[in-house]
Structure 1
Amino acid sequence: MGKALIAGVMRWQNTLDLTMSPGNVVAKPLEHVIAANDANKFIAYNNIPPDIPKIKTKSNSKANKNKC
């Protein structure tokens, strides 16, 4: 079970299990994303992708830099 931000209610609500219904309008487009498959071409990105060498960039650098 997951949470979804529902527009009309404007708060997080519990959602149905995405694997319950193969015809689910949310689950169908995601079936190849959430399935365990080595041939997947999709990377779920959270600023530190798994199994990818960590590269420090300006966008993910949290160093405190003084600009005086």
Structure 2
Amino acid sequence: MTSTASGSWVVYSPNESAVSDSAGFWSNEFGWVLLDQATRFSKEETGSLQLPLSTGRDARFVPWQEARQYYG
């Protein structure tokens, strides 16, 4: 289930962003991508899903609104 509401979350990796021209957000379909292609997750999903592998293992869930404001 993918949420598009303001309460959604995305996976962000600062290291992936640094080595991939800002493509530090996770897409279930495409892998590491820019924010506008990132898969959005519900709060419930953030507690039950495993994070994808990332350089330095630094991937984490961040609120979509925060990602848009600071990383977009």
TM-score, scaled relative to structure 1: 0.20
Give the structure with the larger helix fraction. 2
Structure with higher RCO (Cα < 8 A, 6+ apart) = 2
TM-score, scaled relative to structure 2: 0.20
Larger Rg: 1
Give the structure with the larger strand fraction. 2
